[in-house]
Amino acid sequence: MSDQVSDIRTCGRPTKSGKPCRVRLYGFDVACGVHATEHDRELAQAYGRGHNEGLRLGKEKWSGEQRIEWLEQRVKELEALLDEASRVYEVDGDQVVEVGKYAYRWRGSMPLEVGDRVLLPENWLSRMKDGPGAYQDVVTKLGSTYRGEMSRILSRVSKQ
């Protein structure tokens, strides 16, 4: 595609006289301003986008792996947007935080922050791992996308 910059391209679409249009094309233009259809313009834009993405990766042409890498990156970006859009930071006046994979509610004088050590009610996993009773863990994220029942954090053990 980089050769295109030095090559002189012309529109080439048929004119009224029957000869191909001699108007010079620039960039990703497919046809000149007079002869370009809506589709031609969309095509030129799509080429431009693809080219810019290619430049971003430092490659003119994409390999299958690069396409997959780019798509995976896009999916991650969209997932992050979706997560942010559906993340809830409060339920009925309680702050919502995540401790590892699980969401908890907190009603305390001071809101929790990531890294705060908290006391959690025992659950089946903690009972299995550490025996019966409350246990300590660390707040990993503010808000949650979880919508079901949440246990309450018993107390803050220490600030992060």
Q: State how far the Cα of 107 lies from the Cα of 95, in Å rounded to an integer.
A: 6
Q: Which is closer to Zn ion, CB of 15 or CB of 45?
A: 15
What are the distances in angstroms from CA 75 to CA 48, 88, 132? 21, 21, 41
Q: Of the candidates 85, 89, 83, which has an alpha carbon nearest to the alpha carbon of residue 114?
A: 89
Closest approach, Cβ 46 to Zn ion, in A, equals 20
Closest approach, Cβ 5 to Zn ion, in A, equals 20
Contact yes or no for 27/48 (Cβ under 8 A): yes
Place of tokens 């969401």: 103
Q: Of the candidates 119, 129, 110, which has an alpha carbon nearest to the alpha carbon of residue 152?
A: 119
What the block records as the tokens of 3 is 């050769």
Report phi then psi at 117, rounded to 5: -90, 130
Closest approach, Cβ 50 to Zn ion, in A, equals 23
Contact yes or no for 68/61 (Cβ under 8 A): no
Quick check: 11 binds Zn ion (CB under 5 A)?
yes
Contact yes or no for 86/77 (Cβ under 8 A): no
Closest approach, Cβ 31 to Zn ion, in A, equals 6
- How many chain residues are in contact with Zn ion, going by CB under 5 A? 6
Q: Which is closer to Zn ion, CB of 34 or CB of 114?
A: 34
Q: Which is closer to Zn ion, CB of 27 or CB of 108?
A: 27
Q: Which is closer to Zn ion, CB of 31 or CB of 153?
A: 31
Closest approach, Cβ 35 to Zn ion, in A, equals 4
Residues 17-46 close enough to bind Zn ion by CB under 5 A: 21, 23, 32, 35
Q: Kindly indicate which of the ranges 15-23, 51-59, 140-148, 149-157 contains the residues binding Zn ion, using the contact rule CB under 5 A.
A: 15-23
Q: Which is closer to Zn ion, CB of 13 or CB of 117?
A: 13
Tell me which residues touch Zn ion (CB under 5 A).
11, 13, 21, 23, 32, 35
